[in-house]
Amino acid sequence: MAIAVGEPDLAARLLERPRSSAIRHQLSALAAQAALAEAGEDHDSAIRLHAEAAEAWQAYGHPLERGLALFGLGRCRAQTGHKDAQAALLSAREVFTQLRAAPLVADTAKWLNESGATTA
């Protein structure tokens, strides 16, 4: 949330706090690190962290967070011209469609259009 409102420094400070042993909290911190790297345009780190988060959220069983991580992965790959950007975006859109998360489906479709993928 801090990143979304233009406060990446606050997000970084929050991540410096002691970590919880709860898996969900650890995965949330991983997702926050990915978002922070993306916001800082450290796309290599963001790609790695979003990919790790997507896999971890899949194993944990949280489809929305997995979809958000895939969406972040796709955005970062698209911004760097990575050939697998569309695959991540399509996977994210599929998750959001299954969840009936219309605003996220629309956001993903915009990125798919910009990256040249079909949105059918």
Tell me how far apart the alpha carbons of residues 86 and 26 are, in angstroms, rounded to a whole number: 28
Quick: pLDDT tens for 6-30: 766 665 655 565 566 789 999 999 9
Q: What is the pTM (predicted TM-score) of this model?
A: 0.83
Average pLDDT over residues 76-94: 95
79, 53 Cβ separation under 8 angstroms: no
Quick: pLDDT tens for 38-84: 999 999 999 999 999 999 999 999 999 999 999 999 999 999 999 89
pLDDT of residue 102: 98
Structural domain spans, the chain: 8-115
Question: Is 1 a residue whose pLDDT tops 60?
Answer: no
Question: Is 118 a residue whose pLDDT tops 60?
Answer: no
Residue 35, Cα to own-chain centre: how many angstroms? Answer: 7
Q: Give domain 8-115's CATH superfamily.
A: Tetratricopeptide repeat domain (1.25.40.10)
